[in-house]
Amino acid sequence: MSRVHVTCTINGDPAEFLCDGGQTLLDALRDEVGLTGAKEGCGTGDCGACSIVMDGRLLCSCLVLAPEADGRNISTVEGMATGDDLHPLQQCFLEGAALQCGVCTPGFLVAAKALLDRNPDPTETEIRYGLAGNLCRCTGYDKIVRAVQAAAETINES
């Protein structure tokens, strides 16, 4: 089977990869590009561990076919930090102990960044609904929600 050539932007850099027509973008990012930050928790769009942003839209990359990424601008957890500066969300997750096993963390960070980009000063309820597409089985969400609140404050102060 001939493979599909995809040209896109990933975390600000031009990127290209070959993929199968039926391959998910999640698998392509992980297996063809080598970015394993996005995780497969379900493969059916129910857990959010594979969250990415494509052209400004938060998506489950397990529900996107890899060829659909052609010409698109993709952001993953690997692109959140700037040089040696962590994104305030990353910093607040660390300081607020908002992760336990850490496997859902990349998806939460990407989803939370998408939320704050859209709504820089969300209420607790807006954070909870904004992150309702991401499953965490360890934390009970308390410290995740608090970390997002703290990050919003940090961003709004700067």
Partner 1 sequence: MTVTESKPSYKYVGTRPVRHDGLEKVTGRARFAADLNMSGQLHGIVVRSPHAHARIVSIDTSDAEAMDGVKAVITGDDFPAVDPSHRQYDMCINVIARDKVLYEGHAVAAVAASTRDQAQAAAAAVKVEYEVLPAVLTIDQAMAPGAPLLHAHMMTAGANPPAEEPSNISNVTRFSGGELDAGFAEADLVIEREFTTQPVHQGYIEPHACVADTGQDGHTTIWCSSQGHFNVRSSTATLLGWENSRIRVIPAEIGGGFGGKTTIYLEPLAVALSAKAGRPVKMVMTRDEVFRATGPAPGTKLRIKLGVKSDGDLVAGDAYLIYTNGAYAGPGGLLGAMTVFESYKIPNFEIEALDVVINTARSAAYRAPAAPLTAYAMETMLDEIAEELGIDPIDFRIQNAVTEGDPSTMGFPFARIGFVECLEAVRDHPNYKAPLGPNQGRGVAAGYWFNIGESSSATVNLNEDGTATVVTGSPDIGGSRASMALMAAEELGIDVYDIRPVVGDTEAVGFTDVTEGSRATFATGMAVVEACRRMVVELRGRAAKMMGVDVDDIDWMDGQAVYTGSDGEKAPLSVAEITAKAKRTGGPLTATGSLEAHGAGPGFAVHLCDLEVDPETGVVRVVRYTASQDAGTAIHPSYVEGQIQGGVAQGVGWALNEEYIYDSDGVMENPSFLDYRVPVASDLPMIDAIIVEVPNPAHPYGVRGVGETGIVPPIPAVANAIYDATGCRIRDLPMSPIRVLDAITSNGGSNGS
Which residues contact partner 1 (rule: CB under 8 A)? 20, 30-31, 35-44, 46-47, 49, 76-78, 80-81, 86, 90, 93-97, 99-106, 109, 124-125, 127-129, 131-146
Whichever of 56 and 140 has its CB closer to partner 1, that residue is: 140
Q: Which pair of structure tokens corresponds to residue 78? A: 């690997």
DSSP state for residue 32 in the 8-state scheme: I
Rounded least distance, CB 6 to partner 1, Å: 18
Q: How far is the CB of 57 from partner 1 (least distance, A)?
A: 20
Q: How far is the CB of 157 from partner 1 (least distance, A)?
A: 20
Q: Could you tell me which residues are beta bridge partners of residue 59?
A: 52
User: 73-75 and 4-10 as β-strands: parallel, antiparallel, unpaired?
Assistant: parallel
8 vs 104, which CB is nearer to partner 1?
104
Is the distance from CB of 75 to CB of 87 less than 8 angstroms? no
- Of 77, 59, 78, the C-alpha closest to 69 is 59
CB of 23 to partner 1, least distance (A): 9
The residue (of 102 and 120) whose beta carbon lies closer to partner 1 is: 102
Instruction: Give the neighbor-by-neighbor strand order of the sheet with 57-60.
Output: 13-19, 4-10, 73-75, 51-54, 57-60
